[in-house]
Amino acid sequence: MSENKFVIVDGSSLLSTCYYAVLPREIMFAKTDEEKQKHYDKILHAADGTYTNGIFGVLKAVVSLLKKQQPDHVAFVFDKTRDTFRRELYPDYKGTRSETPKPLKQQFVLLEQILEDAGVRVLYSSRYEADDYAGSLVMKFRDRIPMVVMTKDHDYLQLVDDGHNVRAWMVQSRQEKADELYDKYYAPYGMDKKSVNLPEKTFEFTAEHVLAEEGVWPHQITDLKGIQGDTSDNIPGVKGVASAAPILLGEYGTIEEIYAAIHEAEKDKASLKELQDFWKSGLGISRSPYKALTKTGEEDELCGEAAALLSKRLATIKTDIAIEESLDDFHVSGYDEDKLKAWCRKLDIKEESVFGK
């Protein structure tokens, strides 16, 4: 196996993070969309009015990644729409998210164009999400080269696999949070962030780190979200079971096995009582989650086992999208720095602020 890395960047997450990180105060503290729109002219933009605040941050991150971490292969994955196959399963999926602001939406399209022009491979479609492409890339190439997914989205943690050398560079909201993780997990071994050589605000998650921080192993992240849900994606989960979820999964492994144990115990009252007593005394769950887990909804109400299984399916990253590109197609040798510099000039972005002096 090669010692080089294949870094897959969640472009949607990175662009959104860069966009919101440098918004003018007038927009950050505005209470209504109408009030925000009045100050759009204060967002960093080129002379022709093209918004560039998010793009600037991403280009700076791309150059830094290529120079400091020096991956052998790179791919950017993007979300194109919220109307993916998951909305066919659950129409309310991501239904609580507000509309993407116009200045950010414009930068998505332009950033994809810039990266492709500079020779960086970009993957997206109207059928699948960014993490589905990341998962499919990981599955296709993980036996040939160490893989890294770089994102803020905890869904990606399900892809971490020490046996296949797949790690996650999780971008933290603040450098202080990343430093806390360094101190917690690296300092005891005499390591620091310089020796680890990661991008700013990131911490590399192995399977052990996922277990320590999330309470479950990477392959159980989908089960965890199946029970706990995910408010950011409007995945319902099972209400009233959140704190017990990691404990139950630690005992049974999967949602399916939890319900298999419940259905077996429901055959008689004594077995059901024995199961709930075990949850309390054996597993230390103070408040029994049985009623919440087995609740039956009225008509269109989604709850109990149906909610758990659907939520797990919604949270599961696809890993079987057909990727036509070969490994060589993602090699950084295709990257053209001069074209990226040309885009900086076109967008009135100072080259030295992206590339350094």
- Would you say residue 45 lies in a domain? yes
Of 156, 175, 176, the C-alpha closest to 167 is 156
- Would you say residue 213 lies in a domain? no
Tell me what the mean pLDDT of segment 330-355 comes to: 95
Beta bridge mates, 251: none
> Domain range for residue 241?
221-315
Verify that 110 and 237 share a domain, yes or no.
no
Q: Residue 301: pLDDT above 90?
A: no
Verify that 276 and 333 share a domain, yes or no.
no
CA angle 27, 31, 32 (to 5 degrees): 90
**Residue 230 identity:** D
- Would you say residue 93 lies in a domain? yes
SS3 of 43-79: the string is CCECCCCCECHHHHHHHHHHHHHHHHHCCCEEEEECC
- Would you say residue 251 lies in a domain? yes
Residue 150's pLDDT is 98
Residue 197's pLDDT is 86
Tell me what the mean pLDDT of segment 228-252 comes to: 94
**Residue 173 identity:** S
Residue 1's pLDDT is 46
Verify that 185 and 91 share a domain, yes or no.
yes
* Lookup: tokens for 92: 């309310």
Distance from C-alpha of 209 to C-alpha of 73, rounded to nearest angstrom? 25
* Burial of 288: CB neighbours in 10 Å, binned 0-12, 13-18, 19+: middle
Residue 173's pLDDT is 87
The answer to whether residues 65 and 71 touch, using CB atoms and an 8 Å cutoff, is: yes
Q: Which of 2-16, 49-63, 114-128 is predicted with the least confidence, judged by mean pLDDT?
A: 2-16
Predicted confidence (pLDDT) per residue in 158-207, tens digit: 999 999 999 999 999 889 999 999 999 988 888 877 778 899 999 999 99
- Would you say residue 100 lies in a domain? yes
- Would you say residue 210 lies in a domain? no
Verify that 136 and 268 share a domain, yes or no.
no
Give the CATH number, domain containing residue 271: 1.10.150
Verify that 170 and 24 share a domain, yes or no.
yes
Verify that 231 and 270 share a domain, yes or no.
yes
Predicted confidence (pLDDT) per residue in 258-270, tens digit: 999 999 999 999 9
Residue 299's pLDDT is 65
The answer to whether residues 80 and 109 touch, using CB atoms and an 8 Å cutoff, is: no
Give the CATH number, domain containing residue 63: 3.40.50.1010
Q: What pTM does this model have?
A: 0.94
- 211: three-class secondary structure by DSSP: helix
